Amino acid sequence: MVLYPYPKTNAAMRLVTMLGLAAVAHGVRETDSLGLDEADPSGSKPEGPHDTIKSDKKPAEGDDTPSDCSWKRIALKNWNVEFQPLGERLVSAVRLQNTHSDNEDAWSDLVQVSDSDIQLSLGASVSFFEDEDCPLKAEDLRFSSSPKCEETGQYLSENEETETEEGHPIFHFRTSNPIVVLQREPADNDTGMVGDWSYPEGDFVIRKMDNGSLELEQKRWGSPVGLYGVLQDEDAHGYQKAKMEVMPRECGKFKEKNCPTSQAFCKVNEGKCEVSPDMNHGFVKVKLISPTFMKKEFSLDDNQYTLHEAHRGFTPMDAEASGFVCVSTNESWTPLRGMTLKQVSGIGPHLQIARKSAKKHGQKIFEKKSFGHEWLQERHRCHDAVSGGKDKAFLPPWKNTVQATVEWKKALTCPENYPLCFDDGDCVSVDCKNGCEWSRSPTPFSDPSAGFNYIAGGDTFGTECDNSNEAMKEKSSSFRSAPFAGFALLLLLR
């Protein structure tokens, strides 16, 4: 029993009631303005529908299957969306420079190579688990560049792996607007061999020395030591040859404790890191075919040579692309999930941003990226990191980037009839903010006056809600100020 230090006038008691109604309910997520009943003095939270079921108090049964297919289509639990990784495909594109599509690979067109650049498109695999009652066709889906679902994207031809283990069809899409991620280094007939080159086994650079000769530098990924050779004049077949060796400066840049002895290029001698003597590093021959293409051959004994095709290298670009899977619902389009890929070049003014982002899994790249408050970021991934570090490991220029992705989830807001997002992820009616004898509604739009007081999740299919209904927050905010006005009136009544 609560004692109040003023007379029990009817007006005063009504205001006291208003004060009690303004207390915050414990069981509602992020909804201070929605908690209108007096808090439980024990501090315990009211049991939500899921909690009640777990404690074996069965709720009243309701038909949990809305007849309208649109409600099945917007329920995230009924979908599986997988976005295609692009890292290995990009490496293969640089190394092999294959400009032809693979009919057996539905995703071969995600990375496209031309004489001037390499472009990326985003890809998504989509499957729907309620297709038996609500059949889905490719034209019911889009893969658009924004949640507005304006572009259709490109539906990719089906192959043999177009069904899940449960027999649901899988639809493959790619975005219709590719982005340039690598720009081929400019070259003409005067450039000759000078520049960066890539081939299936690695990367190398040819530079012109002060004396006019050409030096070839060959490095392996992740290795801190490079091989060097001076190209000789052309032979009768148009090839220029170089004997490869480790230069003293390559080992001399390391202190004794960091000397890379495991690769046998260097050794520690009298406290110094020096070149290992008597090591055979082989021979390289190169022949320029066009400004962007050359033949490269390697041999350990200058006798049997292995031939490789080499292509002029690339410069990374700052680039960004987004893709959102959308489904047709009631003659409109509803976005389900999305992904954004962003590449920050490690060359130029964005170097520091790239380095900081690499340390935080790329999250810093997306800290100011938004599609509105209803879209939440999740699953941050950082795929590449700029070169550098204590081991001075090598990365080719086209890898000198941070490439990161983030996925987007649309925040699930409770419908107006069941506006409160409970701690267990179900949406409940206003009357049950402090708990009820639960009765499940068959649809989000069923009238609570029929005896229902919650829906499973935020969509009747068990997808946990994220937010209470904003419209109810606005209605309750004005009511919540009543205790303060009531307190002023109470002073007048005394």
Q: Classify residue 213: in a domain, yes or no.
A: no
- 77 with 103, same domain: the answer is yes
- 14 with 82, same domain: the answer is no
Tokens of 179: 């982005």
User: What's the order of all strands across the beta sheet hosting 111-113?
Assistant: 111-113, 117-120, 179-184, 314-316
Torsion of CA 138, 139, 141, 144, to 10 degrees: 120
- Strand pairing category for 283-290 and 293-299: antiparallel
- 50 with 133, same domain: the answer is no
Q: How many domains does the chain have?
A: 2
Sign, CA dihedral 62-67-72-74, equals negative
Q: Classify residue 57: in a domain, yes or no.
A: yes
Q: Classify residue 279: in a domain, yes or no.
A: no
Q: Classify residue 215: in a domain, yes or no.
A: no
Measured distance CA(382)–CA(357) in Å, rounded: 8
Each residue's pLDDT expressed in tens, for the chain with a length of 494 residues:
333 232 333 333 333 333 333 333 345 555 444 444 444 444 555 666 665 553 444 444 444 444 567 878 888 888 889 999 888 888 888 888 765 555 567 788 899 998 899 999 999 999 988 777 788 888 999 999 999 999 999 998 654 457 766 778 889 999 999 999 999 998 877 778 999 999 888 889 999 999 989 999 987 766 788 889 999 999 999 999 999 999 898 888 888 888 888 777 889 999 999 999 888 889 999 999 999 899 999 999 999 999 999 999 998 898 999 999 999 988 899 999 999 999 888 665 565 666 666 666 667 778 889 898 889 998 888 875 544 444 445 667 788 788 889 999 988 888 888 999 988 889 998 888 788 888 888 888 888 888 899 988 888 888 888 888 877 655 544 333 334 344 443 444 44
- Which residues face 202 on adjacent strands? 199
Measured distance CA(48)–CA(42) in Å, rounded: 17
Last residue of a domain, one of 410, 439, 454: 410
Last residue of a domain, one of 410, 436, 451: 410
Measured distance CA(357)–CA(402) in Å, rounded: 7
Model-wide pTM > 0.75 = no
Measured distance CA(190)–CA(144) in Å, rounded: 44
Q: Classify residue 289: in a domain, yes or no.
A: no
Measured distance CA(90)–CA(110) in Å, rounded: 9
- 76 with 179, same domain: the answer is yes
Q: Classify residue 431: in a domain, yes or no.
A: yes
Last residue of a domain, one of 410, 426, 446: 410
Give the domain range for residue 388: 72-183+316-410
Measured distance CA(181)–CA(77) in Å, rounded: 34
